[in-house]
Each structure stands twice: as C-alpha cells, then as structure tokens.
Structure 1
Amino acid sequence: MDFLIAGLTAITWKQVVMWAIGGLLIYLAIKKDYEPALLLPMGFGAILVNLPLSGVINQTVQGIGEVNGIVDWLFNIGIAASEALPLLLFIGIGAMIDFGPLLSNPKMFLFGAAAQFGIFLTITVAVLCGFGLKDAAAIGIIGAADGPTSILVSQVLKSNYIGPIAVAAYSYMALVPIIQPAAIKLVTTKKERRIRMPYNPKNVSRATRILFPILVTVIAGIVAPQSVSLVGFLMFGNLIRECGRLDSLSQTAQKELANLVTLLLGITISASMKAEQFVSPYTLLIMALGLVAFVFDTIGGVLFAKFLNLFLKHKINPMVGAAGISAFPMSARVVQKMALKEDNQNHLLMHAVGANVSGQIASVIAGGIILGLVPGMIH
C-alpha cells in the first residue's frame, strides 16, 4: 500500500504533459497514419519512461535500491555507446533504394545538394537564439528529413536535446504531404508548376549499379571522413541489393531488419524523452527551428531549379528541386501529386525520385560534414 501511495504522490505535472505528448504521437500514428512504425513506439515509450518510479529507466527507488531499466540499457548500448541502431537501419534503407533514376539522370545530384540549404541556415539561426554550436548543429540536421541521421548527429555531438530533435525530425517527416506543398507554392507560379519534363531514361548497366555504392563510399570518405559510417552502411545495403547474389539477404534487410530496428529505435529514443529534460521552452523552440530547417530545405531545392532555368533550353519543373530532401519516397510522391493536380498529363515521379535518392546521399554527407567541422570549431 505504501508503495502504491508513493507512486501516486511521485507524479509530477511534467510527467502528465509527457503522457499527453505520448498519447498524441500514438494518435498521429494510428489515426492519421503518420510514420506509425516510429511514432507509435516513440509515443508509447514516452509514457513508459515518465511513469513514476518506472522500472524501465535507471533510478534509485526507496526500499528497492538501484533499478537498471531496459529502455536506458537499450539507449546506452544501441545509441549512446555505438550508434548501432541508427546505423543498422541505414542498411535496410540502402537495400530499399533504387538509384537507377539518379544514375540515368546524374544532374539530379545537384538537387540533393541544394536541398540541404535549410540545415546550415537553421544552424546559424539556432546559434543566434542562444544555443551552443553543438546543439545548434544537431537542431539544424532536422532539415535533412532523415530521422536516423538526426539521432546519430545529435548523439555524437552529445547534444542536450536528443529527444526533442528526434521527435521533431520524425514528426516533420510524417508531415511531408502537408508542409511541402505549402512551401513549394510559396515560391513557384502556376505556370512553373505546369512545366512538363519528358522522361527518357538511359540504360544503367549492372556494373554501374554495383560500382556506384562503392565509389560513393570512397568519395564521401575522402571528402567528409566523419560520414563514412552513415554513407557506408547506406551504400552497403544498396550493394546487397544490386550485387544480384544476395536476394534473400536484400529482402531481409528491407523487411525484417528494417522493421525490427525501426521498432527498437523508436522505443529506445524515448530514454531521452524524460519529463525533466523534455518539458521546457527549448523543446518548443527546437520544434520551431526544425520547421524552419525543413521548409528552407524545400525552398532551397526549388529556388536552385529556378536558377538553373535561367540558363537551360529545356526547363526543369522547379517542384522537382523540392524532392531533394531525404524524405524518401514521400517527397517524390508529393511532387508527382502536385504535378498531376496542375496538369493531369504531367508525370514527374521518376525525375522526383532521382532527386529524392540524391537527397538521401546528400543528407548523410551533410551530417558527416557537420560531425567533422563542429568539434574543430569548438576547440
């Protein structure tokens, strides 16, 4: 009875707020179908770690002593000590991606790079808002629209805001169909959105498909050495897909491995969603800055396409530039849907897919560049 009373009296208003946040994430996952594989375990985990005297986190409980919680253990082993969970997820993501549309139209590489503009803009804004450089860099990477990259960068930089950053990253990924159309329409005209782009793909040989992940890893390792773990695991997954000898392993990476790691990652990240750290004005500011990063990544890609059109005979539909963010394949689908709404004969999907997979590579390289530059700038 005393233990029951102790549990009730230990409840704080901040914990109740976290229960509500957890419930909201679960609602969005189930009712709205927003990234359910991630938001549901994150939401349930947020409730778990904020129960009074919870046995899932490390703490001292009167009458019992030290309690070693499973969620804290998973976080320490899978994220804090080795970043294993985000990296393992990249193998599954790499196995899912077909780089064919990008290889058949290499200029789409440019849109992946242009669509990282919001990351570096937001880092500057976050510093001006009073965040330290490490925290600002971790917040800026939300604009990559890549949850595992956001988690990895914030953990390696030892940010104080891993929980809010993860929630912001995955929430905005889930809200791509809502955020991106508004951002695209803000900087394009109806005439520009109706530009047609015939799709005449070049044949991509098997040798090219096999060499591509190897060369990307080597080049990324030379240009941004800190990105090797990110890019390398992504490209390893793609090499499994393209080699033609490991079909069963490729399917396992795409399905069983990716699903299992996604679930574990979602509930594990809740270790950084404890009420004492999460419920603060900084969380709201981080959510706002994450939105800035996301919107300006989209706008950066669109404006870059419009800049290229000043010199090109065959114009690019600027909406394709918006697909340069890493939210694969959602962003490409958004562009296709918008194009068909403007002109039911305008099919931009494959162009957008090329830009989208380019954004996947660019986002992890951007994360590696940040990991390489920020510690040196601080010291």
Structure 2
Amino acid sequence: ANPRTLLLGAAAQFGIFATVLGALTLNYFGLISFTLPQAAAIGIIGGADGPTAIYLSGKLAPELLGAIAVAAYSYMALVPLIQPPIMKALTTETERKIRMVQLRTVSKREKILFPVVLLLLVALLLPDAAPLLGMFCFGNLMRESGVVERLSDTVQNGLINIVTIFLGLSVGAKLVADKFLQPQTLGILLLGVIAFGIGTAAGVLMAKLLNLCSKNKINPLIGSAGVSAVPM
C-alpha cells in the first residue's frame, strides 16, 4: 500500500554493514581477532532476525553460532530499552506527532500474490536465501489464503512455541564454556548493540529524508520498525 516505506527497512540494514566494518576494525587494530566470514556473521545481528542470524552464522562461522544467537535474541528482547532514546534524540516533538494519511485497503489477491512473487524473485536472484525466505513466504501465504485456518492458527501459536524451545535447547548446546567465555564473545555483544543502534538511527533518518521530498509525511518513528526483531 505504501511501497516507499521499503526504503525504511533498507536503511535499517546499515547496522549490518557498520557492524561488519566494526568487527574488521577490531581485527585491524589487534584488539579482537575476527575473520571476514566471522565479521559477516556478526553483522547479521543488526538485522534483528533471530532465525537469519542462526542460519547465516551456521554457514559462515559455526564456531560463533552460540554467542551470535545469544546476542541477537538478547538485544531483540531489549529493543524497548535500546530504541526509544535513539528515536527521541533524532526527532523533534513535531515530527513525533505527525499523523500519517490512511492507506488504501490492500486486496486479498495482492496479499496472496505477494509471498508467491517474492519467493520466485528470491529463488531466481538469491537461491541461497530461498530456504529461509521460503519459510517466511509459506507462513504468510497460509495466513492470507484463509483456506487453512486451523493449520495457520497452530503454526502461529502452538508450533512456534515448541520450535522456540527446541531452538533454545539446540543453541544452548553450542555454548560450551571454552568457546563461549572468550574475548570474542565480548566483542560480539558490543558490536551487536552498536548494530541495533545504527540500524534504528538509519531507519529514522531515512524517514526524515523522505519527508523532505514528499507531500504525504511519514512519522519518522516508524523508521525504527526496520529493525524487525523477529520473532518477538
């Protein structure tokens, strides 16, 4: 209904790239040693997406999977504490009071076509990401189609809770003391909170930038939603 807000989500990903550069900077100055794949895995914490962080770190830096997962989910839980000070510092009271215009109603056909088209594009352009995005699209399609309501309700409630428990157990099994209690873990925790902060700031600033060239103003506070915090 409002495609330009896609830019808010895109801007929030600056936290990922800033974190990658931060990890490489720590390595350059000899403070904490991170390889490029490890830096990339740490950077994905800035996406505030737990499953993505686990998936990518498992591919690029399995030795850091436990620490990255703990950092990602911890900061996702702390979003209500991390984001408000940044949002308040970067916006004026007038901007925070902006009332956005009512969007048009999205048709059922559009809601159903969205996950299908998205998955096709991802499979063609980024096949490595297809399994991850495919699960997202499948869940979205189940909910919007309206023909499998019982299954959709189970997935959104009972199943997600069971999966979360097993996910926590499997990640916890990776937290072996001799691997977790390392200087690298402190670096990951530090870079993680920086990633969340930069991602939030970038989303808010992008909304302010869009307002400079648009009649229909966007409340800059929604820019922070680019830090998705999934699944929370």
**How would you bin the TM-score normalised by the shorter chain?**
over 0.9
- Give the 3 Å change call, closer, same or farther, for CA 221–154 of structure 1 in structure 2: same
Q: 2:35 aligns with which of 129, 132, 150?
A: 132
- In 1, the alpha carbon distance for the partners of 2:11 and 2:210 equals 11
Does 2:61 correspond to 1:158? Answer: yes
Q: Determine helix, strand or coil for the equivalent of 1:219.
A: helix
Name the aligned partner's letter for residue 11 of structure 2. A
The aligned counterpart of 2:81 is 178
1:194 CA displacement: 2.1
CA-to-aligned-CA distance 1:252-309 (integer Å, 9 cap, x gap)? 1111211110000011101111110001111111100001111111011011111111
The aligned counterpart of 1:263 is 165
- In 1, the alpha carbon distance for the partners of 2:41 and 2:167 equals 18
CA-to-aligned-CA distance 1:203-257 (integer Å, 9 cap, x gap)? 2222111111000111122332221111111101111111221111111111121
- Structure number with greater CO (CA < 8 Å, separation at least 6) is 2
TM-score, scaled to structure 2: 0.92
Any residues of structure 2 matched to 1:269-288 within 5 Å, and which?
269-288=171-190
- In 2, the alpha carbon distance for the partners of 1:302 and 1:328 equals 19
Name the aligned partner's letter for residue 185 of structure 1. K
Does 2:149 correspond to 1:252? Answer: no
The aligned counterpart of 2:123 is 221
- Give the 3 Å change call, closer, same or farther, for CA 328–268 of structure 1 in structure 2: closer
- In 2, the alpha carbon distance for the partners of 1:329 and 1:299 equals 21
- In 2, the alpha carbon distance for the partners of 1:266 and 1:328 equals 15
Question: Structure 2: which 5+ residue stretches go unaligned?
Answer: 28-33
1:122 CA displacement: 0.7
* Kept after mapping to 2: 8 A contact 1:166/1:269: yes
* Kept after mapping to 1: 8 A contact 2:50/2:229: no
The aligned counterpart of 2:12 is 115
Does 2:140 correspond to 1:231? Answer: no
CA-to-aligned-CA distance 1:81-130 (integer Å, 9 cap, x gap)? xxxxxxxxxxxxxxxxxxxxxxx222222211111110011111111111
- In 1, the alpha carbon distance for the partners of 2:98 and 2:103 equals 18
TM-score, scaled to structure 1: 0.58
The aligned counterpart of 2:31 is none
Identify, as 1 or 2, the structure richer in helix: 2
* Kept after mapping to 2: 8 A contact 1:151/1:165: yes
Name the aligned partner's letter for residue 128 of structure 1. T
* Kept after mapping to 2: 8 A contact 1:134/1:159: no
Q: Considering only CA atoms, is the larger Rg found in Structure 1 or Structure 2?
A: 1
- In 1, the alpha carbon distance for the partners of 2:70 and 2:231 equals 20
Q: Determine helix, strand or coil for the equivalent of 2:6.
A: helix
The aligned counterpart of 2:49 is 146
Any residues of structure 2 matched to 1:200-349 within 5 Å, and which?
200-327=102-229
* Kept after mapping to 2: 8 A contact 1:302/1:321: yes
The aligned counterpart of 1:93 is none
Q: Determine helix, strand or coil for the equivalent of 1:323.
A: helix
Name the aligned partner's letter for residue 2 of structure 2. N
CA-to-aligned-CA distance 1:169-227 (integer Å, 9 cap, x gap)? 000000010000012123222222222223x2312222111111000111122332221
- In 2, the alpha carbon distance for the partners of 1:140 and 1:157 equals 11
- RMSD of aligned residue pairs (Cα, Å): 1.5
Question: Structure 1: which 5+ residue stretches go unaligned?
Answer: 1-103, 331-379
1:165 CA displacement: 0.6
1:328 CA displacement: 5.1
- In 1, the alpha carbon distance for the partners of 2:168 and 2:54 equals 11
- In 2, the alpha carbon distance for the partners of 1:210 and 1:314 equals 27
- In 2, the alpha carbon distance for the partners of 1:142 and 1:246 equals 33
- In 1, the alpha carbon distance for the partners of 2:230 and 2:2 equals 17
* Kept after mapping to 2: 8 A contact 1:305/1:316: yes
- In 1, the alpha carbon distance for the partners of 2:62 and 2:198 equals 23
How many positions carry a matched residue from both structures? 226
